[in-house]
Structure 1
Amino acid sequence: MSHITRNQPLGTPTWIDLGIPDLDRAMEFYGTLFGWTFEVGPEEYGRYTQCLLDGRRAAALAPNPDPSATGFWWSVYLATDDLDATVARSLEAGGTVVGGPFDIPEQGRGALLRDTVGAQFGLWQGSAHVGCEVVNEPGALIRNDLVTPTPEPAREFYAAVFDFTLEDNKDMPGVDFTFLRRPDGHEVGGIFGNPAAHGSTWNTVFEVADTDEAVRRARDAGGKSDEASDMLYGRIASMSDPFGTEFSVITRATG
């Protein structure tokens, strides 16, 4: 369990949000699945809605402003204490700016970028809003991994921008998975090379107390889910919400 009260170090996944066509339907689904409650924002901020777990910020939802949109995904924002400098480093490493930089008065500054393999991610320099206030417990974010058919350019990009060190996963021989570690050695995520992947995307994983129960809840609430399965780090399932947004849930292995 982790309760966050200050800005995270450079490159740490610090915030997630999702734009969907029906905010009320999304709140119903994610409230059922994770036990979230919601603070709906004012119209002037696009009804940007804070998702709360026991009163702490866990994520955000917002109505998607594009009526023709058909694809939806959880956006991950990586922490920075100097947004402009990190944007500049991203551009130098071959990335592109998708949106921003933008200022949220008193809350912080952000930007949306695309890396060298086409995956979109965000940057967040927090002020009053430090990002997720709760992680690594049931109902909260536990990790983000980049899935791509072309992992080598991605490894080079993220190491250059965020000073990550790269480490092979020796526990899973035969799997092209690279740990991303901050200079202090803390693991912040990974890059999964999957030749069968259709494009490159950051995958979001939430912790749950019981993966099989989460599968049932997701299906009952109008989502879709694969059957739960066991892997090295716990019991996991891939699922999607009623709008087709894909994500995963995991119950961590003990011992």
Structure 2
Amino acid sequence: MITTDFVPGSPCWIDLGAPDVPAAAAFYGAVLGWDYEPMEGAEDMEGGEDMEGGMFRKDGKIVAGLGKLTEEGARSAWMIYYDVADADATTQAVERAGGTVRVAPRDLGEWGRMAQYSDPLGGQFAVWQPGSDTGVELMDEPGSLSWTELYTTDAAAAKEFYGGVLGWQFGDMELPGGGGTYSLITPAGLPEERMHGGLMEMPAEALTLAGGRPYWHPVFNVTDCDAAVARVTQNGGTLQMGPDDAEGVGRLAVCVDPAGADFVVLTPPPSES
């Protein structure tokens, strides 16, 4: 279960880099019922004079961030941030493990300290050392993050890297119908009910969105998967897979927004009373 009771190694923030901020705000507002709030005080942050963006809220609670995609040649994508006690120490661990520092640790005002990396296979992720801001305010509820997922070309290498850098525990399960092995991720020292994500090995030719490189994507909880997919396509997005029913997981679909950022919508199975 993914929660806002953040611990080291748990997902605590997500943001979207989009080429057109107003268009992205309108799309996710229509699909997930989010309200967009332009950010005040960006000019006070390092590089703030070039920043455009703000926050997404669901029922008044912050669920994600949105910013202008400025990196030349980069694709629009969601970035997942994981809680760490020390962003500088994590950066050193990333480098020792063969990863790449994309954005060196930097302070974002009093809110916290962040850094962004690529794992040795090319999967991009980020970390957040909390200050006054610990992360998003809503998780695992309709319209919010409920899972994180990595598609990678080498599951064993990915587990070794992330296990060393973020202390994750892994539990493997075989997918039905010979679909391969799925590795469930849990923060260090926590029970399985606190697992927050998974990773799966896939061939490079299946990872077309990132040019054959591994990538992370978010899974958003929705009350009606099929209705959410209809809103995606009605608002200029596309459907990559599904909707399909997954036993014990729910009904899900892999979607791509109009700028090319992928995400999953998931309706969990009814809870047993």
With the shorter chain as reference, the TM-score category is over 0.9
CA shift at 1:3, angstroms?
6.9
Alignment equivalent of 2:94, drawn from 83, 90, 96: 90
CA distance in 1, matches of 2:104, 2:35: 29
Partners of 2:175 and 2:242 lie apart in 1 by 24
Contact 2:112 / 2:128 at 8 angstroms: preserved in 1? yes
Which residue of 1 is the match for residue 261 of structure 2?
245
Q: Of Structure 1 and Structure 2, which has the larger fraction of its residues in helix?
A: 2
1:82-161 equivalent positions in 2, closer than 5 A:
82-161=86-165
In 1, Cα distance between equivalents of 2:89 and 2:169: 20
In structure 2, list runs of 5 or more residues that go unmatched: none
Give 1:171-186 correspondences, 5 Å limit.
172=176, 174=178, 175-182=180-187, 183-185=189-191, 186=194
Instruction: Name the structure 2 match of 1:219.
Output: 233
Question: Is the 2:19–2:76 Cα contact (8 Å) retained in structure 1?
Answer: no
Residues 176 and 194, structure 1, Cα contact 8 Å, conserved in 2: no
The Cα of 1:250 is off from its aligned counterpart by 0.5
- Gapped runs of 5+ residues in structure 1? none
1:230 paired with 2:245, answer: yes
Structure 1 residue identity aligned to 2:59 = D
Aligned to 1:58: 63
Indicate conservation of the 8 Å contact 1:89/1:161, yes or no: yes
CA displacement at 1:229 relative to structure 2: 1.4
The TM-score with structure 2 as length reference comes to 0.86
Partner of 1:20: 18
Identical pairs, percent? 34
More displaced 10-residue stretch of structure 1: 229-238 or 193-202: 193-202
- Is the 8 Å Cα contact of residues 9 and 83 (structure 2) preserved in structure 1? yes
Q: Which runs of 4+ in 1 moved over 4 A?
A: 170-173
Tell me whether 1:162 sits opposite 2:166 in the alignment: yes
* TM-score, with length taken from structure 1: 0.92
In structure 1, give the amino acid aligned to 2:199: I
Q: Deviations over 1:113-165 (max 9, x none)?
A: 11121101000011122111100011100111110121111010111112222
In structure 2, what is the equivalent of residue 31 of structure 1? 29
2: CA distance, partners of 1:97 / 1:165: 23
Q: Report the CA distance between 1:51 and its aligned residue.
A: 0.5
- Cα distance in 2 for partners of 1:51, 1:88 equals 32
Relative to structure 1, the CA distance from residue 120 to residue 2 in structure 2 (aligned partners, 3 Å threshold; closer, same or farther) is closer
Q: CA deviation at 1:188?
A: 2.3
